[in-house]
Structure 1
Amino acid sequence: MTTATITTTAPPRPSPVRRAIRAWPAWTPYAAAVWSAGYGLLGLLWALGVDGYPFGPGDLPDAREESILGATTAAGVGPWIAGLGFAGAVIALTMARLPAGRARLPARLPARVARVALAGWGWASAFLLVVLVPDQRVLTTVAYTPLALVGIPFGWPPMAYGEFVETVLPWPNVNQWICVFGGLLWAATALAFQRRTASACVHCGRRDAHSYGWTSRAGAARWGRWAAYAAFLMPFAYAVVRWAWALGIPLTISQEFLDELHRSGMVWAGAYLASFAAAGGVLTLGLTQRWGVIWPRWVLGLAGKSVPRAFPLVFATTVTLALASGGSVILRLTDWSDPAEWAANPLMVLAPWSVLLGAATLGYHLRTRRACRACGRG
């Protein structure tokens, strides 16, 4: 008679990177505090006369008009950057260290006022750093980088990879990406704080005995579908105009301006952007179609396998943020007293496109999320 030995294999431990990502509610407030203190220190140094102020006279000359800080100086704005940065560091640490639960917030202030004030600072900081401080250069970098990666070996654009990096990422442009990174840290900090002080799971936001309504899978599938279809159509309002220019049709512009675009070759860059935008619009449908969850048959080697959720979420979120910063510039610089100006500008679609794409991305997230690893809800 023999006995069989049964062995069990423990599930593989997640990598350190994955563990760090899953623990984001714990460390993002401290990361936001470090970022704020560091950028506040830069503001102090700029105010004291240290070189490197990336706005106003320190910005690229042809980009100052579009920047919201294009008319500022280091002496005037540096102290504000320092003050807001150091204050943000203190607030982020306060948000990290306040105990969970609604009733445990400081007794001197009503609980709701305290939550709204701290969370409001976090969301306002995120909006300022992600949408208002950056300009169209973030969107330009996102749009032209795929073309450069593929086209440079074939001579378009006619430069080496190093030259392309130097062109799109001088210090003022790098600073904008630094601001976007800080804004994302503040958004994560505010979200984790809201969930923790509402007695919800900080990882997924779910609560016991809570009716999820529009955030349920069924609810998100309904409104997310409409948002995805609308986001799919938005870029074609821009693309049709750019394609018309490439074909020699002066749609919304004068014939003289169109001739100049053809002489300089810029019309073909516009045609590429139009095609890139249209392709992005088509891909948006994946946020509500089956092929956004399961790789379709025409994807060699992956057909029938599950699409990693992070792939569409990261891609769509990146495009959403780039569209939001570019759209804010268009809304700010448009002469709203002249209907002919804003009605004929194909870039007016950027702001509403970012809102619709963001909504479609959120709908995809809510529709496809699984049970929470931390709390087990869902």
Structure 2
Amino acid sequence: MEPKINVKNLAHFSWLSRWPQWTGYAAAIWSLLYGLLGLYWLLGGTGFPFGKNDLRGQMMGSFLSNLNVDIGGKVIAIAGLVGTVVAFAMVSTWGRRIPSVILLSFAWIKSVTLVLIVPDSRIVQNFAYLFLLHFDLIDWRVVNQVFCIVGGFIWGASGLAYFRLTRDACGNCGRKGVSEGSSAKSVAQWGKWFTYLAVIMAMPYGIVRWAWALSIPLGTNSSTIVGNEDSVISEAILGGLCIGGGILTLGLIQRWGEIFPRWCLFLAGKQIPIWIVVVPATLISAIITLTGLKLSPQFIYMMVNGTITIENWGGFVPFLSWLPWGISLGIATLAYYLRRRGRCKHCGKL
């Protein structure tokens, strides 16, 4: 027998746990704001972040480096207006007149576009530079990309909530009737292998950067990189972020990824809240995936035409592991979530 949930207690859940109820409205507000911004650019406003106004776009792997304001402004304005209507349709009774496949398709396409198509490698570049206390490269174009990624996650969440609603499933956990999905044993099995793959894919970039920090000319003959005292710390930190991230990824299948270890002092022995792991891991997998998606075609082309050689491959080839790294990390994070989510506090299903 399924345990009953006291409806009165739902009011005491945090606003975050009630995300299926408000993400649709958040998606509508986001779309309206960005649509108005597109209209502003179309009418001659300054700050259009793509095309000829973005001098670093092509170098950073932007898919929109050739987009002009006449087309881009119209697309953004129309997509914003349509997105506002679609978002309200997903949370309103009148939206039931529209086939759900249309609303869902729009939501998923918008989410993928905002997270993986609009941003480029400047996202991960500036994230890494934060650890070097280097903020000079953060400009309006980077802020715009961050804003789009936020919008993409909002649209993804609203689409997921609507999809669950159309299935008469719990908006928070997605379960309906008798518990569905893979068994814990099956999840642990495939989650383990994707975790190992993510760890392996994180290593190439980190190994090359640590080699440079140690003055080992691995894949480069540039004196400005190897043997330069000013770059030792930065190369060590950049390499450490990848290798350290790979090691932390093992926590997705280890006990210390679920229970705070002894060195955590007063937290030692306590269970790690699932969202402390899932949220950052999901975000990192997204920015790694989009970076690999943007740079891999460019670097493969450079390998084919001979621009990348045995003398300079270290600055390019390690990025080819980023796309499989990001995807495998995302799948490993999903497995961690499915394995640990337990009984839903909203519907009571296990």
Tell me what 1:94 maps to.
Answer: 89
Cα separation, partners in 2 of 1:116 and 1:314, compared to 1, 3 Å? same
- Does the 8 Å contact 1:195/1:202 carry over to 2? yes
Per-residue deviation at 1:14? 9.6
Q: Which has the larger radius of gyration?
A: 1
Cα separation, partners in 2 of 1:73 and 1:46, compared to 1, 3 Å? same
Tell me what 1:128 maps to.
Answer: 113
Query: Quick one: distance in 2 between partners of 1:306 and 1:210?
Result: 24
Partner amino acid for 2:131? P
Per-residue deviation at 1:98? 4.8
Across the aligned residues of Structure 1 and Structure 2, the Cα RMSD in angstroms comes to 2.5
Per-residue deviation at 1:351? 0.8
Q: Secondary structure at the match of 2:40?
A: helix
- Does the 8 Å contact 2:50/2:57 carry over to 1? no
Tell me what 2:48 maps to.
Answer: 53
Query: Quick one: distance in 1 between partners of 2:342 and 2:125?
Result: 35
- Does the 8 Å contact 2:187/2:339 carry over to 1? yes
Cα separation, partners in 2 of 1:267 and 1:332, compared to 1, 3 Å? farther
Q: Secondary structure at the match of 2:346?
A: coil
Tell me what 1:84 maps to.
Answer: 79
Tell me what 1:43 maps to.
Answer: 38
Tell me what 1:195 maps to.
Answer: 164
Query: Quick one: distance in 2 between partners of 1:229 and 1:15?
Result: 41
Tell me what 1:273 maps to.
Answer: 238
Tell me what 2:5 maps to.
Answer: none
Tell me what 1:363 maps to.
Answer: 335
Query: Quick one: distance in 2 between partners of 1:298 and 1:175?
Result: 40
Cα separation, partners in 2 of 1:31 and 1:223, compared to 1, 3 Å? same
- 109, 120, 123: which is aligned to 1:138? 123
Tell me what 2:3 maps to.
Answer: none
Partner amino acid for 1:187? G
Query: Quick one: distance in 2 between partners of 1:182 and 1:338?
Result: 35
Per-residue deviation at 1:268? 4.4
Tell me what 1:377 maps to.
Answer: 349
Per-residue deviation at 1:143? 2.0
Tell me what 1:310 maps to.
Answer: 275
Gapped regions of structure 2 (runs ≥ 5) = 1-8
Tell me what 1:226 maps to.
Answer: 193
Q: Secondary structure at the match of 2:263?
A: coil
Query: Quick one: distance in 2 between partners of 1:23 and 1:168?
Result: 36
Cα separation, partners in 2 of 1:330 and 1:190, compared to 1, 3 Å? same
- Does the 8 Å contact 1:342/1:348 carry over to 2? no
Cα separation, partners in 2 of 1:349 and 1:173, compared to 1, 3 Å? same
Deviations 1:304-362 (A, max 9, x none): 11112121112211211221221121124234484564994111111111001101111
Tell me what 1:9 maps to.
Answer: none
- Does the 8 Å contact 2:131/2:237 carry over to 1? no
TM-score, normalised via structure 1 length: 0.81
Per-residue deviation at 1:48? 0.5
Partner amino acid for 1:199? D
Query: Quick one: distance in 1 between partners of 2:191 and 2:309?
Result: 29
Q: Structure 1 residue 183 and structure 2 residue 177: aligned?
A: no
Query: Quick one: distance in 2 between partners of 1:334 and 1:317?
Result: 25
- Give the % identical residues: 38
Partner amino acid for 2:343? A
- Does the 8 Å contact 1:33/1:93 carry over to 2? yes
Partner amino acid for 2:282? T
Q: Structure 1 residue 328 and structure 2 residue 293: aligned?
A: yes
Alignment length (residue pairs): 333
- Does the 8 Å contact 1:228/1:284 carry over to 2? yes
Tell me what 2:27 maps to.
Answer: 32
Tell me what 1:207 maps to.
Answer: 176
- Does the 8 Å contact 1:246/1:267 carry over to 2? yes
Per-residue deviation at 1:279? 0.4
Per-residue deviation at 1:204? 0.4
Per-residue deviation at 1:145? 1.9
Partner amino acid for 1:72? L
TM-score, normalised via structure 2 length: 0.87
Per-residue deviation at 1:83? 0.8
